[in-house]
């Protein structure tokens, strides 16, 4: 592991920025950005429905968060974002349990490394279906819910700087994330008519202990070398920006993709 040029800053305490609001966070089981976002939202006073395709990890995450924040503020439902019926069930669950919806975080995505010349149709399609089409399905469901209930909701999508910057072996992932950015901008224009905002974050390098273990030291060194701080972002640092985009502090922002990055220009 590389030695960071700067240490990780102190964890920022909650300020009740999402008090009384109900949020859905996809791919929220585990220690990644989704899990960090669910926790940050709870610390900011929200009720949170976490979702993931991994049922065991989802149950463990639900139990841990419920013990810390209260079972009345945390619920979970497994959802594969490539399955429209499961997406519909997730949003119906939110209405049934919490009576409505205020925030949707589309965090589900799938990466992988493959040279384009050797990439199979299955590899391409799988990444696009989870990362881009899944974001489309959940955004569509969210906008329908906001439109039909009259709530001035917020959608926050998880894109990536790789949607702007080329990287070998990442054609499928880069195409999917660039698509998420374009989807964000178009959805924002349509949703503005009924007071709904749609924005996205674009992290550069966010890691957590489990991901570090399966990343080679050589690759991690190469990636962190590109970061001005000489370290990767903690998932909660990305989640902080999602809190901002979900809160009233970003009330005049829509259709924006916010880079969460310390990469050199």
The encoded tokens of residue 34 equal 């989704």
Residue 2 has pLDDT above 60, yes or no: no
User: What is the structure's pLDDT at 5?
Assistant: 57
At residue 219 the predicted structure's pLDDT band, cuts being 50, 70 and 90, is low
Reported as a single tens digit per residue, the pLDDT across 70-110 is 999 999 999 999 999 999 999 999 999 999 999 999 999 99
Q: What angle, 0 to 180 degrees and rounded to 10, lies between the N-to-C axes of helices 171-191 and 121-128?
A: 30
Reported as a single tens digit per residue, the pLDDT across 48-58 is 999 999 999 99
Reported as a single tens digit per residue, the pLDDT across 61-71 is 999 999 999 99
Burial class (CB in 10 A: 0-12, 13-18, 19+), 122: exposed
- What are the residue boundaries of the structural domains of the chain, listed by start? 22-258
Reported as a single tens digit per residue, the pLDDT across 164-209 is 988 899 999 999 999 999 999 999 999 999 999 999 999 987 765 5
Chain position carrying tokens 């925030």: 103
User: What is the structure's pLDDT at 151?
Assistant: 94
CA distances 261 to 30, 73, 160, 164, Å, are: 22, 31, 10, 12
User: What is the structure's pLDDT at 163?
Assistant: 95
Q: Find out whether 178 and 166 touch, Cβ atoms under 8 Å.
A: no
Residue 11 has pLDDT above 80, yes or no: yes
User: What is the structure's pLDDT at 210?
Assistant: 55
User: What is the structure's pLDDT at 228?
Assistant: 75
Q: Decide: pTM greater than 0.85.
A: yes
User: What is the structure's pLDDT at 27?
Assistant: 97
Residue 127 has pLDDT above 50, yes or no: yes
Q: Which of 41, 45, 26, 42 is nearest to 158 (CA)?
A: 26
At residue 140 the predicted structure's pLDDT band, cuts being 50, 70 and 90, is very high
User: What is the structure's pLDDT at 3?
Assistant: 43
Q: Which long-range contacts (CB under 8 A, 24 or more apart) does 119-125 make?
A: 119/171, 119/172, 123/172, 124/171, 124/172
Pairing of strands 154-158, 47-50: unpaired
Q: Find out whether 215 and 237 touch, Cβ atoms under 8 Å.
A: no
Q: Find out whether 34 and 25 touch, Cβ atoms under 8 Å.
A: yes
Residue 4 has pLDDT above 50, yes or no: no
Reported as a single tens digit per residue, the pLDDT across 101-113 is 999 999 999 999 9
So which residues are the catalytic ones?
173
- Section 141-158 average pLDDT: 96
What is the arrangement of strands in the sheet containing 197-203, beginning at the earlier edge strand? 74-76, 47-50, 22-25, 103-106, 154-158, 197-203, 257-260
Work out the percent of the chain whose per-residue pLDDT is above 70.
92
Taking the C-alpha atoms of residue 196 and residue 48, their distance in angstroms, rounded to an integer, is: 19
Fold that domain 22-258 belongs to in CATH = Rossmann fold (3.40.50)
Q: Quote the radius of gyration of the chain (alpha carbons, Å).
A: 18
User: What is the structure's pLDDT at 264?
Assistant: 56
């Amino acid at each position: 592991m590389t030695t960071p040029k700067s240490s990780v800053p102190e964890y920022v305490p909650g300020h009740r920025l999402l008090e009384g609001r109900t949020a859905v966070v996809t791919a929220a089981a585990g220690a990644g950005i989704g899990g960090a976002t669910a926790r940050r939202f709870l610390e900011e006073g929200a009720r949170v429905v976490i979702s993931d395709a991994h049922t065991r990890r989802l149950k463990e995450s639900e139990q841990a968060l419920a013990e810390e924040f209260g079972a009345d503020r945390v619920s979970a439902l497994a959802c594969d974002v490539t399955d429209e019926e499961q997406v519909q069930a997730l949003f119906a669950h939110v209405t049934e349990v919490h009576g409505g919806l205020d925030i949707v975080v589309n965090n589900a995505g799938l990466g992988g490394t493959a040279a384009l010349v050797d990439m199979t149709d299955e590899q391409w399609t799988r990444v696009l279906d989870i990362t881009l089409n899944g974001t489309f399905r959940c955004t569509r469901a969210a906008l329908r819910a906001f439109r039909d209930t009259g709530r001035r909701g917020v959608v926050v999508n998880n894109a990536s700087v790789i949607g702007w910057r080329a990287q070998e072996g990442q054609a499928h992932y880069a195409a999917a994330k660039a698509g998420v950015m374009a989807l964000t901008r178009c959805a924002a224009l349509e949703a503005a008519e009924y007071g709904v905002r749609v924005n996205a974050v674009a992290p550069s390098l966010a890691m957590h202990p489990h991901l570090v273990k399966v990343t080679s030291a050589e690759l991690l060194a190469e990636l962190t070398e590109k970061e001005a701080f000489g370290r990767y972002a903690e998932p909660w640092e990305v989640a902080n920006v999602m809190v901002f985009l979900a809160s009233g502090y970003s009330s005049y922002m829509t259709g924006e993709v916010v880079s969460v990055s310390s990469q050199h220009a």
